């Protein structure tokens, strides 16, 4: 996967003024095109958990009906049956889990998302999606395929790192990778097949978990008590490539990363990530530092899990830092809308290790203006990105 020199904007559809795939979403695409932006990065599109997190969805396949602009739009029996047939690997499981009307909701989601994505493509804007590495405990995938997961005496998490000094305790079920290997990683192949049906490029969240994952004993208070266990390495993605062709993927290689993770990333020919927020700290060899950016890296000014640029450095410095990011050697620079608007901590999307008060930030009507688009277009053009 290789990117031309370009700019992306990160905004989950839930952060649109309406939080839905209606007029606000189309207006946002128009703004992206006016700003010279070629990529719209969203977070996972599945149903969120009770805290609003799209990274703990009850389905690794379903789209979220809460995003629909027309949730009551009619669906014919023929359309529902066609969807069941086309998505036979997961639709029946989701229907059994979610109940009556679940498939009709997926038909509506397919209609609205395909229409919006087509509108964006006609204006030169493509979509970057996100694939959480784990599924929710007790969710559809966990219930329908318990053999693919380990017993819940140990659960997923992350060791202490830059994001959280106590590590993170996610609580997701861990994969029985030996079972996945015996089935040719078929569940993962179908998951990524669904992903490339919905987006043009996808980010593999917590890629390092494929090399080694952090297993935490159930009942632990924090993620500190875990230990590393060996993952499947590149076998998952190689199986998917054999079935689907080259994968248009970005590797999320943040956190406590060991050399074998970088080696696998480079072996697969996938770009990793750097974060401008961390470009002025850490070891001299840090991938985040400006002098160490590689061409095939995706540079984020900040992420959904970090403080905003203005929240960390102050609003006065945010504009200069954006120009610094655009001048990076990295081919693709992704800017959360919060950083375009120079918003502070009040606009942060998520605070890892906490459950309350996250995933709720929204744009206000008219907050993103033509002037913002013009300024970004001019700065991107000066950096050879528009």
Which residues participate in catalysis according to the annotation?
205, 252, 305
Please classify residue 362 by burial: count the beta carbons closer than 10 Å to its beta carbon, then call 0-12 exposed, 13-18 middle and 19+ buried: middle
For helices 77-86 and 102-122, give the axis angle rounded to 10 degrees.
80
H-only helix segments in the chain: 23-34, 77-86, 91-98, 102-122, 140-144, 177-182, 186-198, 208-211, 235-244, 259-267, 309-313, 315-326, 337-340, 370-382
Q: Are 210 and 232 in contact (CB under 8 A)?
A: yes
Q: Give the 3-state secondary structure of 108-129.
A: HHHHHHHHHHHHHHHCCCEEEE
Q: How many residues does the chain have?
A: 386
Positive or negative torsion for Cα 85, 183, 253, 265 = negative
Closest CA to 333 of 136, 83, 41, 107: 41
* Burial 226-255, CB ≥16 within 10 A → b, else e: beeeebbbbbbbebbbeebeebbbbbbbbb
Give the span between the Cα atoms of 351 and 345, in whole angstroms.
Answer: 10
Helices (H) then strands (E): counts for the chain: 14, 12
């Amino acid at each position: 996967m290789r990117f031309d020199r370009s700019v992306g904007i990160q905004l989950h559809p839930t952060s649109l003024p309406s939080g839905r795939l209606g007029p606000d979403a189309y207006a946002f695409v128009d703004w992206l095109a006016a700003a010279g932006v070629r990529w719209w990065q969203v977070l996972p599109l599945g149903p969120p958990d009770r805290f609003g997190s799209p990274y703990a969805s009850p389905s690794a396949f379903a789209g979220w009906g809460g995003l629909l602009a027309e949730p009551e739009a009619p669906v014919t029996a023929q359309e529902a049956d066609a969807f069941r047939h086309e998505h036979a690997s997961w639709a029946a499981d989701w229907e059994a889990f979610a109940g009556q009307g679940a498939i009709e909701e997926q038909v509506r989601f397919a209609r609205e998302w395909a229409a919006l994505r087509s509108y964006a493509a006609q204006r030169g804007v493509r979509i970057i999606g996100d694939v959480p590495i784990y599924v929710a405990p007790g969710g559809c995938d966990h219930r329908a395929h318990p053999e693919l997961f380990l017993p819940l005496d140990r659960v997923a998490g992350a060791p202490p790192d830059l994001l959280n000094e106590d590590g993170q305790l996610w609580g997701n079920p861990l994969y029985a990778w030996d079972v996945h290997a015996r089935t040719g990683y078929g569940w993962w192949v179908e998951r990524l097949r669904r992903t490339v049906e919905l987006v043009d490029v996808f980010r593999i969240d917590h890629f390092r978990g494929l090399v080694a994952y952090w297993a935490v004993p159930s009942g632990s208070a924090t993620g500190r008590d875990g230990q590393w266990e060996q993952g499947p390495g590149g076998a998952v993605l190689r199986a998917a490539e054999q079935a689907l062709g080259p994968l248009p993927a970005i590797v999320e290689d943040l956190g406590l990363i060991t050399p074998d993770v970088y080696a696998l990333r480079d072996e697969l020919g996938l770009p990793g990530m750097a974060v401008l927020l961390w470009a002025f700290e850490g070891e001299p060899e840090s991938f985040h530092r400006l002098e160490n950016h590689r061409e095939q890296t995706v540079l984020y000014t900040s992420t959904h899990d970090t403080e905003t640029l203005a929240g960390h450095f102050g609003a006065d410095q945010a504009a200069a830092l954006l120009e610094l990011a655009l001048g990076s050697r990295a081919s693709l620079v992704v800017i959360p809308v919060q950083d375009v608007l120079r918003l502070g901590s009040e606009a942060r999307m998520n605070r890892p290790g906490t459950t309350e008060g996250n995933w709720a930030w929204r744009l206000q009507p008219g907050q993103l203006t033509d002037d913002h688009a013009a300024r970004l277009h001019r700065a991107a053009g000066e950096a050879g990105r528009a």
